[in-house]
């Protein structure tokens, strides 16, 4: 089975801090995604990547950036954390074939105080 | 019109009965359809995928697809308390930007 590992299950950060969320997948998937999930708003796509060093903006990229230096790792960066970025962050990966679904990591619940 | 719509629920179903979850989508070019189960505080887990019109069965789960009506459903037979979760419908726009679009989910509660 594909495993998608997110480095932290819970994080508490202060306003203004730079925050790194790490995601690693072990199945050589080309496609990786970062979502945030908030009550009543569902899953919202932040950024995605179809290959190493490639990145595409999703629906809500403001305040975030990403890095994909290696195929297995996709990092989400909060340049200057704000309280409205308190959320559950979910990483997902998918093989190149378009009809495959995503495999999600276990999620990181980030609280910005 | 939202791209993927689901009734938010909660949908309450007695244990042992059939739970029926419904989803409509707006983009006719969509070609791949998925159902995810999400327990409270956990991440979504893929439980069914369907690509062709008709039914697809896997154990107690049956996914149904009607592309003409732009409608996807998930049936859970012999519902168990462990089926209590939020079920997310998702649609892949294969011929467009190839992204998966998620509905907001339906909360299902199985009554013991």
Answer yes or no: is pLDDT of A23 > 80. Answer: yes
Question: What pLDDT is attached to residue A20?
Answer: 97
Asked if B44's CB is within 8 angstroms of A104's CB, the reply is yes
Helix (H) or strand (E) holding B65: strand B61-66
Which sign, positive or negative, has the C-alpha torsion B18, B102, B84, A102? Answer: positive
Of the candidate ranges A78-87, B30-39, B57-66, the one whose mean pLDDT is the lowest: B30-39
Rounded Cα distance between B5 and B102, Å, is: 9
Residue B12: count of CB within 10 angstroms of its CB: 12
User: Percentage of residues in chain A with pLDDT exceeding 70?
Assistant: 96
Q: What is the DSSP string of A11-68?
A: EEE-TT--EEE-EEESS--SEEEEEEEETTTEEEEEEEESSTT--EE-S--TTEEEEE
CA proximity to B107, closest of B12, B1, B3 = B12
Look at A98 and B46 and tell me if their CB atoms are within 8 Å: no
| pLDDT for A50 beyond 80 | yes
* Radius of gyration in angstroms for the set of CA atoms belonging to chain B, rounded to a whole number: 13
**Are B32 and A48 inside 8 Å of each other by CB?**
no
How many other β-carbons are positioned within 10 Å of the β-carbon of residue B91?
24
3-state secondary structure of B12: strand
* A30/A64: higher pLDDT: A64
Both tokens assigned to B24: 């409509």
Q: Is residue B44 scored above 70 in pLDDT? A: yes
Spatial separation of the C-alpha atoms in residues B47 and B27, rounded to whole Å: 23
Q: Using an 8 Å CB-CB cutoff, list residues of chain A that contact chain B.
A: 40-43, 45, 48, 90, 94, 98-107
A101 with B51: Cβ contact below 8 A: no
**Contact residues, chain A, for B98 at CB < 8 Å:** 98
Chain A residue with minimum CA distance to B4? A42
- Give the distance, in angstroms, between the CA of residue B76 and the centroid of all CA atoms in the same chain: 10
Separation CA B109–CA B13 (nearest Å): 6
Whether the predicted pLDDT of A27 surpasses 90: no
Pair A53, A69: CB distance under 8 Å: yes
pLDDT tier at A98, thresholds 50, 70, 90: low
Region B78-83: mean pLDDT is 97
- Cα B105-B107-B109 angle, rounded to 5 deg: 160
> Residues of B with CB below 8 A from A8's CB?
none
Work out how many CB contacts closer than 8 A connect A with B: 48
Q: Mind telling me how many Å the CA of B104 is from chain A's nearest CA?
A: 5
**pLDDT at residue B94, as a whole number:** 67
Closest residue of B to A41, CA-based?
A: B104
Cβ contact (<8 Å) for B51 and A41? Answer: no
B-side interface with A, Cβ within 8 Å? 31-32, 34, 36, 42-46, 49, 51, 88, 90, 92, 94, 98-100, 102-105
- Confidence class for position B81, pLDDT limits 50, 70, 90: very high
């Amino acid at each position: 089975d594909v495993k998608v590992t997110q480095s932290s299950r819970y994080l508490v950060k202060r306003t203004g801090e730079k925050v790194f969320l790490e995601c690693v997948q072990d199945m050589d998937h080309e496609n990786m995604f970062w979502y945030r999930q908030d009550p009543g708003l569902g899953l919202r796509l932040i950024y995605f990547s179809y290959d190493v060093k490639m990145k595409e903006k999703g629906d809500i990229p403001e305040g975030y950036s990403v890095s994909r230096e290696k195929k297995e790792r996709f990092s989400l960066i909060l340049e200057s954390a704000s309280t409205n970025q308190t959320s559950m962050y979910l990483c997902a990966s998918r093989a190149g074939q378009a009809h495959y679904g995503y495999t999600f990591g276990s999620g990181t619940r980030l609280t910005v105080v | 019109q939202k791209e993927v719509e689901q009734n938010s629920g909660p949908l309450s179903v007695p244990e042992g009965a059939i739970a029926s979850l419904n989803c409509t989508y707006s983009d006719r070019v969509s070609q791949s359809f998925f159902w995810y189960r999400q327990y409270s505080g956990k991440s979504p887990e893929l439980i069914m995928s369907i690509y062709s019109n008709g039914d697809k069965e896997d154990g107690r789960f049956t996914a149904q697809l009607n592309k003409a009506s732009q409608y996807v459903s998930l049936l859970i037979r012999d519902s168990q308390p462990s089926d209590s979760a939020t079920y997310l419908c998702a649609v892949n726009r294969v011929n467009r930007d190839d992204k998966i679009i998620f509905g907001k989910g339906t909360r299902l509660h199985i009554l013991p």
